[in-house]
Amino acid sequence: MSNTAATTKRNKKQALGPYGRVGQAVGELDDRLGVAKGGRVFLDKIFPDHWSFMLGEISLYSFVVLMATGVFLSLYFIPSTQQVIYHGSYKPLDGQWVSEAYKSTVSISFDVRGGLLIRQMHHWAADIFTGSIIVHMARIFFTGAFRKPRELNWIIGTTMLILAILEGFIGYSLPDDLISGTGLRIGYSIAESIPFVGSYLVTFLWGGQFPGTGIIIPRFFIIHVLIIPLVLIGLLSAHLGLLVRQKHTQFKGEGRTENNVVGSPMFPTFMAKTTGFLFMVTAATAILGAFTQINPIWQFGSYDASKISYAVQPDWYMGWLDGALRIMPSWELAFWGHTVPLEVFLPAVIFPGIVFQIAIMWPLIERRFTGDIAMHNLLDRPRDRPKRTAFGVAFFAMLFTLFAASSTDVLANFFHISLNVVLWFFRFAFFIVPIISGLVAYQLCREMQGVHDIGQRKRALIVHFSPEGEYSTVPSATRPDDERHELDPEPVPVRIDIEPLSNGGIRQPESSPTGARQVNR
Amino acid sequence: MSSRFLLPAGLLGVATLASLAMIFPGATASASGHADANQVSITPSHVTTRACGTVSVKGVTNAVPNAGNPFLSNSKTCLNGHLISYGNTAITYSNPPQSFISAGRLLFAQTCSSCHGNDANGVGPDGQATIGPNLQGVGAATVDFWVSTGRMPATDVKAVEAERKPSRLTPVQALELAAWVNSLDPSVPAVPNPHLRGADQSVGQDLFSLNCAACHTIEGSGDALAFGTNAPSLQDRQVTAQQVAEAVRTGPANMPRFSGNLSDAQVADITAYVTEKLQHPQNPGGVALGGVGPVAEGFVALLIGVGGLALICFWIGERSPKDDDDDEHTEGGDDPDPAKAQEYAQSGQEHA
Amino acid sequence: MSDADHQPSRTRVPMPVAALSDPHMGDAAKNPERTEQIIAVILFLAIVFFGVAGAAYWQNWSDWIFGGALGIGLFALGFGLTAWGKYLMPQGPFVEERHTLASTPEERDVMSAALVERSAVVVKRRRVLGGLFAAGAGVFGIVAAFPLIRSLGPVPGTSLETTGWRKGMVLVDSSGRPVRKETLVVGGIMTVYPKDTVNTETGFISDQGQAVDQTVLIRVSDQPFTTEPGRENWTPAGYVAYSKVCTHLGCPVGLYEQQLELLVCPCHQSMFNVRNGAVPQFGPAPRPLPQMYLGFNDDGYLIAMAPYDQAIGPGFWERNS
């Protein structure tokens, strides 16, 4: 290469500056948007490393999977209850009257390449989505992360849970198969049971006496693919925005105070971990969708209001309502020409209303009881708050009892007990199980508080037998793994002593803000 | 004779024959040459003909053709006062051979009489009612069903319903018992043999979901019903086509009896659906998780899905940090400390 | 310019330069080279599995091969990236200070003052306008609700209280066959609809027939019997018919136990005794299933002698029990 060419090449590189094309791009963006300073603050953001802080990411990434698979499905699904005669791949349905919605879903399962996989991924992701929201919510609850200043985030999160449950119910009712259609019939009756407005509500929504004009499926479709996802995306953005603004909470520990956050920086560490986790969540839904069958609607047949299967269940996140409906005694109020069906209204409308109301208002409820109005950025260990933990355990125990109560027939069959006995058992268990669980949890917390090295690996004791006949114990040497060494936290450095790779080795000396450092080649 | 009597005599003869023809109807459409159906006398529950003997038709409909009533089926074979077989292209019902009766009597005395009485009439030797009901008039299909599915002989007589178990008796022995019990009061339905080749699985699916799924579940997995009763699983491949047809037509225990509301063709369609589809589920989506529906799916999603991902979180993230021993960490709403910031700034200078 | 000049409340002071030898910049892995090799293998496997997935789609193999390969490949990709982030990136830990969220008391006062004082100026001077605007917005809110809600569907009227059954209508099964006296033997059950709701040629049953008029017909005995006083003629030849719509939540009550003479609703196990007018014996159903007054017409077919004498199905506010 001639001298002139080499010089020109080097000059060109020099003209780009020490950070090359990346530096140029940053410059161009910053001229227009002023993002350089804020951008670096963003890249320096610290995320605490505790594993339980990633549970919300399971929800976030399963939501991403839901949207991606949902777009695919929406390109094939026909939201119509128009009855047609089925002629397709699944022979046991051949010649039967089915709805267009059902037929298109069967077609997605059998005639669209990859359709069954995507459909199953979508349904598994929905179950994982609601499950992970609840697990994430439990972590927030038991560690007290909902306290000031994060009450609003808690309310947003609980609202998203309610929307997620609703979205799931509407979603699996779209194919209009026998099982989900029965669930819709039950939904109609529950709405109908509301005093004063119930009958209006259902004839408005469905278009008349059940099953109405058939418009419920197209309405559900647009609610499921547009309205609720828009609201969820909005709430999710607010949820994450608040998290960025208020910064994450953290557990107590060395170097961790109310006024700092210790962990990994956004770029590159956290981004790598979280993007990897996104792939793993998608992988989990793909593996489940590939190997385990879920909601095989072709076996059920299209919805016919005069047909029914025994042992029909809603999806798991509705199971607690089904259980409540089963164990409720058949009390109905009838007076002066009116009826209030308490056996439906109480367990299916009032009870979940109370449950969600308590959930949404919990930060205020706890504040009323503890009088704690201080800011909290450090988390409690659950054992440090026995009463809150006991209440939470009791709450979950009650919901789990109801969930178990929705399988009374399966349990009666499995254990060869009379169905009637099982039902009465759950009527009592609904009250007794939460109380006992709460008391046990409270007691456990208090006992754990008394043991200061609980949860940590104990050192072995070596027993010595002295010549005089005395026994004595000596703790063994610690294992290297027993003592986790963590370095003292330090701030994210402005610069790292490594040459910028873009300019072929030419370095511009820079002085740091404190003027303390001069970099040598 | 004078020819003027010919015409009135002829007219009189024709009139006589015509009235005879109207009073005594001709033979029914019968494929066999042995039937003598002119002599049918239908009482409410029994039909007596010379060829078929007396047959109790209490258990089948008298209204709809090809619904299990031999005298309203497309084909019928009787011989020497015994009903041999009947039915149509969809199902052929046949009684066990007469030669089985004596073996059946012995077998019954050994195996069944202790609960059903020596004469299978539900009356013990002391004249008291036995624990088992009267079996006279139940028909061969009923006996064959209960014995071939192993429900009889019952081991737990106190149970609400006799449960299905591996049969102690062979299929031939079941037929022997059926032959003897049937001989005491010949009845129908006889043992059905459904012909599945021409059956329509789609019609079967439609009828199954309307009539059967309410007890047996849409996938045929069975479940516990009220007061200790249960609907057995039909997915079990040991349930034969014959047993399905027998159960549908005889209505064992608490199962309803499907007679005139299902034709033989429809029963064959349902049987085909159960034995070909429900017992051989294809499950293109993967492992079927027991076919009990969203409860199992929820468990898998929570334990394996969320649980597995939580384990991955456990791997990615850290455990709780060790607690400080000194009380450096502050609680409460303290504002950030400028002195601390200064500390950091100064310590930064010391990093080499 | 340092941050301190722009935002006095921010006290975070970044560390200037870190050397590569700083343990915070080092890898968390004990053996970084080996870790890197392992992660490389895993990422390579991801590519292989994606290739398998692609082939599975292209060659139209089973979905479980396509999905399984895709899933394992994605898992390997994610695992590799995450492991890289966990083991081979600066291990830290790093710290940042939290800036005070709250503004200073002076700033808060200024904000409150802006709201209160400026509103006061407006309200003092333009009270009527403010009131009118608020009223207008409120009325709009109410009026806007009308098309949003009222146009959705019809008012219930009496639609929830009636079925399609009328006197003289013939009961037919799902194929359109009418019911004769001998159709069912004792212990038999079938679902019936009004004749006009079933198209015998196409087999199509209307929504009204399936969902509202659906009736369960049981032959309980050979002889008529009385379910309740006043219903002596309702069960000709031992047939009894009830609305199939459960009075609890509307599921079809199709489960019949013939020896117990019990109709059980499969959804929540309400149990109805068919001999005494389907009175619920157990479970959450509050009311008996409405019974149909049956009779035989001149052709010998089973017919309805009257519509149901009450609203079928679950309870609702206007239901006159």
pLDDT in tens, C38-72: 999 999 999 999 999 999 999 999 888 999 999 99
User: What does the pLDDT average to over A216-232?
Assistant: 97
- What is the count of residue pairs from B and C with beta carbons less than 8 Å apart? 116
> What pLDDT, on the 0 to 100 scale, is given for residue B11?
76
In angstroms, the CA A308 to CA C250 distance is 11
Residue of chain B nearest C253, judged by CA positions: B214
CB B62 within 8 A of CB B69: yes
Q: A228 pLDDT exceeds 70?
A: yes
Which are the contacts of C8, defined by CB distance < 8 A and separation ≥ 6?
Answer: none
Report the C-alpha gap between B177 and B167 in whole angstroms.
14
Tens digit of each residue's pLDDT (9 = 90 or more) over A96-140? 999 999 999 999 999 999 999 999 999 999 999 999 999 999 999
Q: Residue C223 and residue C219: Cα distance in Å, rounded? A: 10
Measure in Å the smallest separation between the Cα of B255 and chain A Cα atoms: 14
Full 3-state SS string of C89-118: CCCCCEEEECCCCCCCHHHHHHHHHHHHHH
Residue A486 and residue A254 in contact, taking contact as beta carbons nearer than 8 Å:
yes
| Neighbouring C-beta atoms of residue C267, cutoff 10 Å | 30
| Residue A110 CB burial class (10 angstroms; 0-12, 13-18, ≥19) | middle
Sign of CA dihedral A296, A172, A110, A89: positive
Amino acid symbol at B328? E
Contact across the interface for A276 and C250, Cβ inside 8 Å: no
Higher pLDDT, B323 or A110: A110
What is the distance between the alpha carbons of residues B76 and B88, in angstroms, rounded to a whole number? 9
Residues of A in contact with C57 (CB under 8 A): 113-114
Q: Which among C73, C101, C153 has CB closest to A149?
A: C101
Phi, psi (5° rounding) for residue B121?
-110, 15
C-alpha A280: how far from chain center: 15
Q: Is the ipTM of this complex over 0.95?
A: no
> Is residue A132 within 8 angstroms of chain B, CB to CB?
yes
Please count the residues of chain B.
352
pLDDT band (50, 70, 90) for residue A505: very low
Residue B341 pLDDT greater than 70, yes or no: no
pLDDT at C115 > cutoff 60: yes
pLDDT at B29: 36
Between chains, do A316 and B302 touch, taking CB under 8 Å as contact? yes
d(CA C213, CA C201): 20
Q: Is the pLDDT of residue A274 over 60?
A: yes
Q: With contact defined as beta carbons under 8 Å apart, do B250 and B142 qualify?
A: yes
Token output for A502: 């873009």
Compute the distance between CA of residue B297 and CA of residue A127 in angstroms, rounded to an integer. Answer: 8
Tell me if A53 sits within 8 A of B317, measured CB to CB. yes
Mean pLDDT of B69-98: 92
The minimum CA-CA distance between B113 and chain C, rounded to whole Å, is 23
SS3 C184: coil
The top-scoring range by mean pLDDT among B43-47, B63-67, C19-23 is B63-67
**Inter-chain CB proximity C11 and B285 less than 8 Å:** no
pTM (two decimals):
0.87
Half-sphere exposure of A245 toward its Cβ, with a 13 Å CA cutoff?
12
* pLDDT on residue A325: 93
- The pLDDT assigned to A435 comes to 97
pLDDT of residue B322: 66
Give the mean model confidence (pLDDT) for residues A150-165: 97
Q: Where are the domains positioned within chain A?
A: 3-44, 46-322+333-377, 381-485
Of A54, A116, A304, Cβ closest to residue B313: A54
What is the average pLDDT value for chain A, to the nearest integer? 89
Find the residue in A nearest to B202 (Cα): A92
Instruction: Say yes or no for a CB contact (<8 Å) between C71 and A275.
Output: no
When pLDDT is cut at 50, 70 and 90, the band that residue A41 belongs to is confident
Q: How far is residue C315's CA from residue C310's CA, in Å, rounded to a whole number?
A: 11
Tell me the mean pLDDT in the region B231-241: 93
Q: Read off the pLDDT of residues B85-105 as tens digits, 9 standing for 90 and up.
A: 999 999 999 999 999 999 999
Per-residue tokens: C137: 């917005």
Per DSSP, the three-state class of C160 is: helix
Per-residue pLDDT at C6 exceeds 70: no
> Which residue in the set C21, C183, C255 is minimally distant from B61, CB to CB?
C183
Interchain CB distance below 8 Å, C17 and A340: no
Distance (Å, rounded) from C-alpha B210 to C-alpha B203?
A: 11
Give which of C1, A299, A290, A280 is closest to B282, Cα–Cα: A299
Average pLDDT over residues A10-25: 79
Is residue B328 pLDDT above 60, yes or no? no
Residue B336 has pLDDT above 60, yes or no: no
Class assignment of domain A46-322+333-377? mainly alpha
Residue of higher predicted confidence among A12 and C275: C275
- Mean pLDDT value across chain C: 90
pLDDT in the model for residue B33: 36
For the stretch C199-228, pLDDT in tens is: 999 999 999 999 999 999 999 999 999 999
Contact B226/C97, CB-based, under 8 Å?
no
pLDDT beyond 60 at A445: yes
Sign of the dihedral through C-alpha C138, C143, C147, C152: positive
CB atoms within 10 A of CB C237: 16
Q: Closest-CA residue in chain C for A242?
A: C101
B17/chain C closest Cα distance in angstroms: 31
Spatial contact of A268 and C86, defined as CB atoms under 8 Å apart: no
The alpha-carbon gap from B234 to the nearest alpha carbon of chain A, in Å, equals: 13
The pLDDT score that the predictor gives to residue A3 is 56
* Mean pLDDT of the A470-480 span: 82
Give the pLDDT of residue A4.
Answer: 60
User: So what's the pLDDT on residue A195?
Assistant: 95
Residues of A in contact with C16 (CB under 8 A): 493-495, 512-514, 516-517
State the average pLDDT over residues B196-207: 94
Nearest CA in chain C to A120: C67
Per-residue pLDDT at C24 exceeds 90: no
What is the DSSP secondary structure assignment for residue C153, as one 8-state letter? S
Domain edges within chain B: 21-94, 97-185
**Averaged over B128-152, what is the pLDDT?**
92
Tens digit of each residue's pLDDT (9 = 90 or more) over C139-157: 999 999 888 888 899 999 8
Provide the mean pLDDT of chain B: 82
What is the per-residue pLDDT for A15?
Answer: 73
**Chain A residue with minimal CA distance to B159?**
A416
Closest CA to C67 of B324, B72, A291, B50: A291
pLDDT at B344 over 90: no
Euclidean distance between CA atoms B175 and B246, whole angstroms: 13
Q: Do A55 and B310 touch (CB under 8 A)?
A: yes
Determine the Cα–Cα distance for residues A269 and A276; give it in Å rounded to an integer. 11
Of the listed ranges A157-166, B183-192, B328-337, C231-240, the least confidently predicted one is: B328-337
Count of A–C CB contacts within 8 Å? 350
Percentage, residues of chain C above pLDDT 90: 72
Architecture per CATH, B97-185: Orthogonal Bundle (1.10)
**Chain C contacts of A409, Cβ < 8 Å?**
269
Residue carrying the six token digits 């609890």:
C248
CB contact under 8 A, A256 and B302: no
- The per-residue DSSP string of B102-118 comes to HHHHHHHHHHTHHHH-T
Whether residue B331 is predicted with pLDDT greater than 80 in this model: the reply is no
Could you tell me which chain B residue has the CA closest to the CA of A493? B348
φ, ψ for residue A465 (rounded to 5)?
Answer: -115, 110
Q: Which amino acid is at A363?
A: P
DSSP helix/strand/coil, A115:
helix
- If one compares B221 and A157, the residue with the highest pLDDT of the two is A157
Please tell me the predicted confidence (pLDDT) of residue A482. 60
Strand partners, A31: none
Q: What is the pLDDT of residues B252-310, one digit of tens each?
A: 999 999 998 999 999 999 999 999 999 998 889 888 887 667 888 998 999 999 999 99
Q: What is the pLDDT of residue A420?
A: 82
Q: Which pLDDT score is estimated for A507?
A: 45
Chains that touch A (3 or more CB pairs under 8 A): B, C
Percentage helix, strand, coil for chain A under 3-state DSSP, each rounded to 5: 60, 10, 30
Instruction: Please name the member of B63, B206, B340 whose beta carbon is closest to the beta carbon of C183.
Output: B63
Average pLDDT over residues A49-70: 96
Average pLDDT over residues B134-140: 92
